Every structure is written in structure tokens, then in C-alpha cells.
Structure 1
């Protein structure tokens, strides 16, 4: 009896894990970044620059849908910070890196009150010295029921 229960429990866990993987497919691609340190004239020191995989480069300037956690961070450019992780685990507070955050630039700026949100927009890869390495331009809140 216990072994049947264990098999059913294991099957349920595997199924829920596979659904989570489908939902996180875009993040799985974005999280795979290597870094190269180069000297920055602006900062007068070596700083990390992203080395995007071919899979990520293929997403540049394409429309994507991405779900994540809104980080309560004020920005000068009115962008919203979206992370694959909740605030307590993001790269500001936890052990994650800058590849786990996307700057969201809304088509029609408004305050987002929800913690977990899905956005649709055009992904831009940023390999400049400043800014986040991922930016979602002309973004709108996305609900799969629309």
C-alpha cells in the first residue's frame, strides 16, 4: 500500500515539475549566460559583460511572453524590474545573478500592484556597460485568457 502511494506521489511531483518547466522555458534560456570581464572607461575598472548563447541571441528583437515577480525597486527610467525569483531570492538580496532580471518598459506606463505578473513585449539584449542585460520594450500585461 505504501509503495502505491509513493508511486502516485512521485508521478504527481514529476507531472507538476514538467508543467513548471514549460512555464519557465523562456527563463531557462535567459539564465544561461557566461560573462567576460573587460575594462570600462566609464567605471575605470574591469566589469562583466554578458556572453549570450546562440539560443538567447535568436530571441533578440522578437516578441516574447514572460512571467515573473515584480521587484519593489524604483528606477530612474520608470521601468519595472521583473525577476524569475521572488524578491528575497533576487540578485539584489539573494544568490541569483543579473541574468535573472528583466527591465520591463511598458507601452502605457502604469503602476503594477501584483507581485507575480506576465508580460508580452519585444526582447532586447543589452551588452552595454549600463542597464540590465535583458529589456522588454513596448510591454503589456498579458493574460493567456485574452
Structure 2
């Protein structure tokens, strides 16, 4: 869980860093990613950060939701069932979050898929967590399937 927290915080932390350049042609843009990007965060102290979900994303909570993005593994291996989904490819993760890119989404698949550097389309139930975002990703797609 500590590794997951570190990875998640790494990407959230970049949201507060200085601006940097990335290859804009690689970035996935969609209305659904805009919904994900509408989430704000409130920092309570160095070890506590909480997601603030507005009405736009709340209307999709616990319902099927589809996203296209890039796999960012949280475990070694070519087959992945639990990973982060990003709007930028892993080779640009240094820049994740620096240019207003939405927070990443945790994906939990029902069946593994092979890791790829190409985009994947995922559909699952959108779950929103009000737990400390330092410990638990605030947004996830559960019982998900690759399309």
C-alpha cells in the first residue's frame, strides 16, 4: 500500500509543480477526462489530502464510466489487473499533472490485460473515495473491462 501511496502522491504532487512541456499530441482529451479533472483537493496537513467532488462527477458515481488512457503500472509484470490510468504515456510521466492534466484513475480489471504503451479503453464502475487521498486513490474504475 505504501508503494501505491507513493505513486499516487507522485502524480498529485506534480500538479503543484512548475510548468513543463510535454508532447501534446500524446495527451488524451475527452469529456470524461474533463469530468475526472473537475475534482479539487484540500490539504489538511502534510499527511492528509482529501478530494472535493463536485456535482458533475457525483452524477457518475457508482455507474458505468468509460475512459481511454495509458497504463501506468503499479506492479511489475506484463499482465496487469490493477494500475493507474493516465492521459499521458508513461514515458512522459515526469510531466504528469504539470499542465492541468487530470488526476489519474485507479483501475481494477476483472481480467488481466497485457501492458502496452498504446492507449487502452476501459469501462468500469466509477467509485469516489472520501478517504485520505494520501492513502487511497480518490477515483477508481472497479469491476472494469478493457474494451
TM-score by length of 2: 0.65
- CA deviation after TM superposition for structure 1 residue 87, in Å: 2.0
2:124 to 113, 121, 124: 121
- CA deviation after TM superposition for structure 1 residue 115, in Å: 2.7
Counting only pairs closer than 5 Å after superposition, residues 21-32 of structure 1 correspond to structure 2 as 24-32=30-38
Contact preservation (8 Å) 1:121, 1:137: yes
Structure 1 residues 50-96: Cα deviation after superposition (integer angstroms, max 9, x where no partner):
10111011111010111001114328x95121101222444xx2250
Structure 1 unaligned residues grouped into runs of 5+: 1-19, 40-44
* Bigger relative contact order (CA 8 A; separation at least 6): 2
State how far apart, in whole Å, the 2-side matches of 1:112 and 1:46 are. 32
How many residues align structurally?
Answer: 114
DSSP-derived class of the 2:115 partner: coil
Match of 1:62 in 2: 63
Counting only pairs closer than 5 Å after superposition, residues 1-146 of structure 1 correspond to structure 2 as 24-39=30-45, 45-74=46-75, 79-90=82-93, 93-96=94-97, 99-129=102-132, 130-142=135-147
Contact preservation (8 Å) 1:99, 1:133: no
